[in-house]
Chains A and B, each alone.
Chain A
Amino acid sequence: MKVLIVEDEIELAQSMAKFLGSESFICEQAHYYDTALDKITIHDYDCILLDISLPDGNGLLLLEKLKALKKNNGVIIVSAKNSIDDKINGLNLGADDYLAKPFHMAELAARVQAVVRRRLFNGRDILEFNEIKIDTAAITVMISEKVVPLTRKEYELLIFLMSNKNKVISKNAIAEHLTGDIAEVMDNFDFIYAHIKNLKKKLADAGCPDYIKTIYGLGYKFTE
């Protein structure tokens, strides 16, 4: 799957490319409006990560161009502004999601995968890993064809972990992901430990091996 990273901060663009590249994504970078325009005109991408403020143009104009070109790709706006107006404008112009800087790479990966899944399977997609099967439209988790009842936060947590297979995810990233957009992250991360513990127990009870590993005090890793 091809991802175009339109981002004028080269360091950030490279980090994004490296992180997503280790997943099953092939990443291309455009650091300027013009190069981005060239790339979207010539190539097709599954997902475009779009910074609004570019040195030589407004990212929102690229959205309009994409619409005019009738490209069927996902777009996630990545902006430092975090302004409600930009968010609404972007989403109205056909962007799928909006991610405010700074963000965690794990969050980015999860969002990209969600957008790509939605595009590819028209919203009705199945997330699979060995015996785990998640139907994101029905919001159900099945292990060996048996439904495992999870709370909403446990469900979100599992998807987040599975979207970042073999990656260490920091507790900060998990906390931010679970807290949501408006809400502010709580100061202590005890609640994450509680959710992980509950999730692990439910998965183990359903006969699932322990995929969620603790990496020192740093975070967690979903791996075989």
Chain B
Amino acid sequence: MRLLNVNLRSFLYYSLLLVLIGVPLFFITIREILEQEIDKTLHLQREEFINHLRNYEYLEDLEVDLHVFDELAYDLSIQPASSGSKDELYETVSLYDSLDREAKPYRVATSYFIVKGKWYKLIMRMSLVENEDLVLVIGLVQTLLVLFLLGGFLLINRSLSKKIWQPFYKTLTKLKAYELNKSESFQYEETRIDEFDDLNAAIRSLTNKNMEVFQQQKEFIENASHELQTPLAILQSKLDLLMQDEALTEEQAALVKDMTNTNQRLSKLNKSLLLLSKIENQQFIDKEDVDVTQILRDTILNYQELTATTTPNILTTSPFILQGNKVLLEILINNLVRNAFQHTTHHDQIKIKLQDGTLTIENPGEPFKQGSEKIFERFHKESTNRSSTGLGLAIVKKICDLSGYNLTYAYQSGAHYFIVKF
């Protein structure tokens, strides 16, 4: 969910709450105000009526007139009373309306007055707006208000998310595309909004720091490599000199041989570890159009020549051009092909197929004793061959992971299958 929508949702909940509280509140207040207003009017009318009455007190038959008046007037009733008080009573009463033929609310004012020494009860009434009508109107008005509010929110929200958040999305896009090993500083434009400028500045300082650390790490790897390769080279050179000694006995030659092999193993291990960390540090990122078929052909030819074996069945299609890093692809294919040549029981039964962007390398062999789950792990070794580094397939896996290729392994009817979907 987008941040703005979270905002919007809170706004909407709040306005809904306001409406829910607002409708009864409005209803009560408006009714109260209306009643007060009507009461005031009734009171004034009563005062006026009684004042008029005082003016006609000289009439002989005023009593009869009052009776007639009571009969004729619709909103008025004058009844002789035995006693009375100066209080005025106001109340809301539901009365049957003969015109509408239904009960309607009325405000009724009951008071008493004296004419010619006689008490009269004066009841005046005034029709009230019906409650249902009032609620309906208020509800309608409020709903309209909410609808406009909502529509307005949505519209404003949409334009806001486009305008105000634009710098944020720009920053996000740049961050996503940012690659540490391109060693470029994080570039941004001033947005004139403090938060975004702060964010961009923080990102720049973070990426700069990361770049620095990355650079140091790279240098460390290079230095470590240098520090290790040189003693290895010295050792190798001394062994090469030692084996020139004419006076070497057979036993001594065997010792030199073992040392040479061990040193070779050490060199290979160091080289593979270095390669692995270089791949992990994404130091092979330059991409170009690479003809995978050509690499495959060259690699296979090399191993054929090396092992002086008959051609394995190569089922290759026309050139397969792939956007990728050439060095990584060469290493990937080399390691898989070497693996097949190294572990096959029959060289002429290696089958290599490249079709529809899928490379399948098949070689006959015994199933793995320790299961196939761990074959891509570092230093996992199936063979007892001590010179194997146990890193070849780990490197293959790492390359596939980083390049987005799908690497799978299967064992079927006496053969290992390594499948790479580019």
Write the residues of chain A forming the contact surface with B, with a CB cutoff of 8 angstroms: 9, 11-12, 15-16, 18-19, 22, 53, 80-84, 100-106, 151-153, 167-168, 170, 172-173, 178-180, 182-188, 191, 194-195, 198, 215-219
Residues in chain B near residue A106, CB distance under 8 A:
240
Contact A153 B233 (CB under 8 A): no
On chain B, which size bracket covers the interface?
A: 35 or more
Contact A170 B257 (CB under 8 A): yes
Q: Does B5 contact A (CB under 8 A)?
A: no
Contact B240 A101 (CB under 8 A): no
A183 to B334, CA, bound (A): 6
Q: Does B244 contact A (CB under 8 A)?
A: yes
Contact A168 B306 (CB under 8 A): no
Interface residue from A80, A153, A168, A185 paired with B230 (Cβ < 8 Å): A80
A103 and B303 in contact, given A170-B240, A188-B385, A217-B254 (Cβ under 8 angstroms): no
Nearest residue (CB) in B for A166 is B244
Contact A53 B226 (CB under 8 A): yes
Residues in chain B near residue A167, CB distance under 8 A:
244
Please choose the segment from B42-50, B167-175, B259-267 that sits at the chain A interface, where 4 or more of its residues have CB less than 8 A away: B259-267
Kindly name the residue among A15, A53, A194 whose own CB sees the greatest number of chain B CB atoms within 10 A: A15
Interface residue from B250, B263, B271, B327 paired with A84 (Cβ < 8 Å): B327
Main secondary structure of the interface of B (DSSP, over half): helix
A53 to B331, CA, bound (A): 26
What would 25 A/B residue contacts be, using CB atoms closer than 8 Å? A9-B233, A11-B234, A15-B234, A15-B237, A15-B240, A19-B241, A19-B244, A81-B225, A82-B229, A83-B222, A101-B229, A103-B236, A170-B257, A172-B264, A179-B306, A182-B331, A183-B299, A183-B302, A184-B338, A186-B306, A187-B385, A191-B306, A191-B307, A194-B307, A217-B253
Write the residues of chain B forming the contact surface with A, with a CB cutoff of 8 angstroms: 222, 225-226, 229-230, 232-241, 243-244, 248, 250, 253-254, 256-257, 260-261, 263-264, 267-268, 271-272, 274, 299, 302-303, 305-308, 327, 330-331, 334-335, 338, 341-342, 383, 385, 387-388, 392
A12 and B237 in contact, given A182-B331, A183-B303 (Cβ under 8 angstroms): yes
Q: Give the 4 A-B residue pairs with the shortest CB-CB distance, closest first.
A: A15-B237, A102-B233, A105-B240, A80-B229
A11 to B243, CA, bound (A): 17
Contact B305 A151 (CB under 8 A): yes
